[in-house]
Amino acid sequence: MENIIYLAKNAVDELGDIRSQIKELKKREEQLKETLLNTHENYIESNKYVFCVISTERTSLDTKRLKEDFGTNLYDEYGKTTAVNKVVITRR
C-alpha cells in the first residue's frame, strides 16, 4: 500500500509540473498568435509550418435567459447533462 501511495504522490507532483509547463506554453502561444494576427496577413509560410487565418462564426445559447423566458421544464426537456471528472492540482 505504501508503494501505491508513493507512486501516487510522484504522479501528483509530475502532473502539477506538467500543468505548470502547459500554462507557460499557452501564455507563449497567445503571445505568438497575437504577433501573427497583428501582421494582418492571412497566410504565411515558414520553413516548417504554414500560418493561416480562418474566420468562422459560432452561435451559443444563453441558457440562463432561456430558463427565465421559457421555464426550466423546456430547458430540462431539451438539455443534455454529461458527467465530468475534474482533476485539480494546486501548488503546496
Examine the pLDDT at 76 and tell me if it is beyond 90.
no
Give the chain's mean pLDDT: 90
Q: Does residue 43 fall inside a structural domain?
A: yes
Q: What is the mean pLDDT of residues 43-61?
A: 91
Q: Give the residue numbers spanning the domain of 9.
A: 2-60
The number of distinct structural domains making up the chain is 1
Phi and psi angles of residue 50, each rounded to the nearest 5 degrees, phi first: -120, 130
Q: Does residue 88 fall inside a structural domain?
A: no
pLDDT at position 1 is: 74
For residue 50 the three cell numbers come to: 504554414
CA distance 3 to 89: 21
pLDDT at position 87 is: 74
Q: Does residue 90 fall inside a structural domain?
A: no
Bridge partners of 51? 44
For residue 36 the three cell numbers come to: 501573427
Contact 42, 52 (CB under 8 A): yes
pLDDT bracket for residue 74 (50, 70, 90)? confident
- Give 15-29 pLDDT, tens digit per residue: 999 999 999 999 999
